[in-house]
Chain A
Amino acid sequence: MKTDLTRRDFLKMTGTGLAIAVVSTSAGYRLLSAAEMEKERQIFQPSVWLRILPDNSVIVTVNKSEMGQGVYTSLPMIVADELDADWKNVKMEAAPAGDEYKDVAFGMQATGGSSSIRHMYEPLRKAGAAAREMLVMSAARKWKVPAKECAAELGAVRHVKSKRTISYGKLVKEAAKLKVPQNPMLKKESQFRYIGKDMPRLDMDDKVNGSAKFGIDSFVPGMLYAAIARPPAYGAGLATSSKEAALAAPGVRAVVPVPSGMAVLADTIDQAWKGRDALKPVWQNEGYPGLSTGSLQKEFLSRLDTAGIVARNDGDAKRAFEENGRKIEAVYQLPYLSHATMEPMNCTVDVRKDGCDIWVPTQNQTGVQAAAVQITGLKPEQVHVHTTYLGGGFGRRFERDFVEEALLLSVSTGKAVKLVWTREEDMQHDFYRPMNATRIRAALDVDGRVSAWSHTIVCPSIFARVFPQMVKNGIDNAAVEGLENLEYEVPNIHVEYVRIDTPVPVGFWRSVGSSHNAFTVESFVDELAHAAKRDPLDFRLSMLKNHPRARRVLEVAAEKAGWGKPLSRGQARGIAYHLSFGSYVAEVAEVSVDRTSGAIIVHKVTCAVDCGATVNPATVSAQMIGGITMGLSAALKEKIEIASGGVKSENFVDYDLLRMSEAPDVEVHIVKSEEALGGIGEPGVPPAAPAVANAVFAATRARVRELPMRPEAVLAAMKMA
């Protein structure tokens, strides 16, 4: 289903088809025909294309990476709907890296922040609608009838009076000569043919028959395989290594130092890995030999007592705490998490004198291209980035460390290089979801209402490394998301951010700061509800009087889950909600706890989501289920262990993910809404952990304030209860 096309092909092809480019300008988007674009491309930069070929195929170029979230289907759906194309003729192709494909809202070509549909909806609709108007106009001219008597329908134009029809493919040559309308008439919602309906995925067949090409499936004739020996601890340096032994190993062609370690290059992957074994590196741990999970936890907790930067200050929380009423306080701790994409990091690069090709599963084409320009000295137009399917992204593939390594190795060997990380490298050299510690204090007035909320979070900064220009007043937006915009109607709210820097690098992990802040906030709200002897659902609703969307998802999830109705013996429900990436999600978890082992069984999760308008409801459901599963995996199992200054966790033996036996049934209810589009890739994750923790409390009266909720942690909490 995927075709491979370069801009040159596109320009060559314009003689035989109708091409529309959406180009971004400072004023927004403009539409250009290929001829216009060729003329104006030095000024305007196209970002998304659609092509219609004489054989009626409609090819949509997608500038977002497919990592499971369904953009290779949902973005073409938007174009196809406005175009009124026949879905069976719709194909997609991945955009190469280029300024013309940048996401205008980001200013870069990248996939993240659950934004693909939100950012591309309008420009793609316009591109489809403009093409439709041009096709209608061509048919009208051909038949010498007024355009308003003609209508586009399922890949053809129809003249109603004379009952004539002509397919798009037969009109492309004429349509290509027309001027592109700048403000085409968009469809009304009632006219949508595909948007809002469950559509089958365009990547389905490839992914079922095994032909889908991921990064690891890239091959270049004559390429070398690279394996990198990496230090076991942060800041450790290479003391000695048996370079000669590695070079003497069968198939090994080169041993090359790179900033991240020592690379061995060989004819085959097994030879490269054996060559690396032969290298027998000895590392000098001059970094942080005393650094461990325990030392970090201690440090994070102690920093809770230091002053942070005020991220939000409503009313006067300090004064409110001095008044009468109950004071409640809790401390929560969450660990570093690995992305653990099923496809380990990899990149295949062929650097030549006149250009360079990079085959890479990336969320960040702009970053990949920039890295190549920097390392090779080539011009951006000489760098060809081929975005493959991503075997999971979750934020890890926004980074370009593995791309830089492959580029350096191709430059230094003068050969094409395929670099494949082992699972151990992938797990030990990640940019982790930050470890963090939180203290929340609240005051309940005599009527059991929350009068003050004081919140301190100690958390490393992701933005300080990735987008330092976005750190304003020293506040990392990710660290305080869900806090600085906490929706609960509390008159006095005080939020402080304490930035902590550790040697462990941190990065974007599906739902980012919401992945931890939803846990602390929603657990604590539950604690307050129980302290006030209120039903956790009613308690939340009473603090969300002016937040109808939040109320609605809570009410729908609760109703569908049978909130308040009896359950089987030993089972209990917990509820949580969170707003992230423009979408509201509430989840109800049904759990039971083995009182001897402390093991949690999650039987079912009922989810309600309000993400505004929906393009492909099937994908919304799939993303909610996927997000909940990842959220549960983190809630129940995942924790990166640090020891002797490095990451100790290695593979799925000591960092296991949620398995089928632990995965609950999930029911997703999409709450219809007229609101602006919200994201779907991430918002399913945050409520999962607190919903489970709250259900565990309901079942056992034990409050687990640390993740993951492994059996031993649950037993410990039960002893405290």
Chain B
Amino acid sequence: MIHLEINGKKYDVDVAEDVPLLWVIRERLQMIGTKFGCGIGMCGSCTVHLDGKAVRSCQTPAGSAQGKKIITIEGLPESHPVKQAWVKEQVPQCGYCQPGQIMQAAALLAEDPHPTEKKIVEHMNGNLCRCGTYVSIKSAIRLASAGGKK
């Protein structure tokens, strides 16, 4: 049995410690916003926050997340500037990678509210989008960084 705190709620899950946190979140607890993309930490679809830092939940053993604050896309408030900027810029196409993109971007702005273009690209480069929404993602991050005003 492992004990996890996800989006401020405590969960006891009967699962081996080495099971990826991704499977616990999305398959056991059915919080579906966190996605499986590659299983090797190369696409970022499974990105969640662990104590405020963006991590790949497919590479995080569930056991190692105990005692830490886990935030998923569902735990990021609707009023969060990144989510609002994503809607305003109409970023998603297929939408599959977007929860991971949003979590990655939210972690960046938490650490650096006014990142340079270079820093945005460096920070977001591990998140793949096959639909090609990179330009909109950059605009949305700049918008969120500017407090929602262009």
Interface residues in chain A, defined as those with a beta carbon under 8 Å from any beta carbon in chain B: 66-70, 200-201, 203-214, 216-217, 219, 225, 268-270, 340-344, 389-394, 420, 422-423, 618, 622, 625-630, 633, 651-653, 656-661, 663, 665-666
Chain A residue with Cβ nearest B101 = A660
Min CB distance A584 to B, Å, is: 20
Contacts of A625 in B (CB 8 A): 132-133, 135-136
Interface residues in chain B, defined as those with a beta carbon under 8 Å from any beta carbon in chain A: 15-16, 19-20, 23, 26-28, 30-40, 42-43, 45, 72-74, 78, 83, 86-87, 90-99, 102, 121-122, 124-138
- Interface contact A342-B74, CB-CB below 8 Å: no
Contacting residue for A391 out of B26, B31, B35, B42, CB 8 A? B35
**Besides A70-B93, A660-B137, 13 other CB < 8 A contacts?**
A201-B90, A203-B92, A211-B32, A342-B97, A389-B95, A423-B39, A622-B90, A626-B131, A629-B134, A652-B38, A653-B42, A659-B134, A661-B122
Contacts of B126 in A (CB 8 A): 659
Min CB distance B10 to A, Å, is: 20
Main secondary structure of the interface of A (DSSP, over half): loop
- Interface contact A208-B102, CB-CB below 8 Å: yes
- Interface contact A423-B37, CB-CB below 8 Å: yes
Min CB distance A299 to B, Å, is: 30
Q: Which of B26, B28, B134 has the most CB of A within 10 A?
A: B134
Contacting residue for B93 out of A68, A213, A214, A269, CB 8 A? A68
Q: 9 closest pairs, A vs B, by CB?
A: A210-B33, A629-B132, A391-B96, A207-B95, A68-B93, A68-B94, A210-B73, A652-B42, A217-B32
- Interface contact B90-A390, CB-CB below 8 Å: no
Contacts of A666 in B (CB 8 A): 135
- Interface contact B40-A652, CB-CB below 8 Å: yes
Main secondary structure of the interface of B (DSSP, over half): loop
Contacts of A628 in B (CB 8 A): 132
Q: How far is the CA of A268 from the CA of B15 in the complex (A)?
A: 10
Chain B residue with Cβ nearest A213 = B32
Contacts of B38 in A (CB 8 A): 423, 651-652
Chain A residue with Cβ nearest B133 = A626
- Interface contact B37-A665, CB-CB below 8 Å: no
Contacting residue for B30 out of A70, A219, A268, A661, CB 8 A? A219
- Interface contact A68-B95, CB-CB below 8 Å: yes
Q: How far is the CA of A213 from the CA of B28 in the complex (A)?
A: 16
- Interface contact B132-A661, CB-CB below 8 Å: no
Contacts of A216 in B (CB 8 A): 32, 35-36
Chain A residue with Cβ nearest B73 = A210
Contact A210:B121 (CB < 8 A) given known A205-B87, A392-B94, A618-B90: no
- Interface contact B128-A268, CB-CB below 8 Å: no
Q: How far is the CA of A68 from the CA of B15 in the complex (A)?
A: 35
- Interface contact A660-B127, CB-CB below 8 Å: yes
Write 24 A-B pairs (CB below 8 A) sorted by A numbering: A66-B94, A68-B94, A204-B92, A207-B98, A208-B83, A209-B78, A210-B74, A211-B74, A216-B36, A342-B96, A342-B129, A344-B36, A391-B96, A423-B39, A626-B132, A627-B132, A630-B132, A659-B126, A659-B128, A660-B127, A660-B134, A661-B122, A663-B134, A665-B135
- Interface contact A391-B95, CB-CB below 8 Å: yes
Q: How far is the CA of A237 from the CA of B135 in the complex (A)?
A: 46
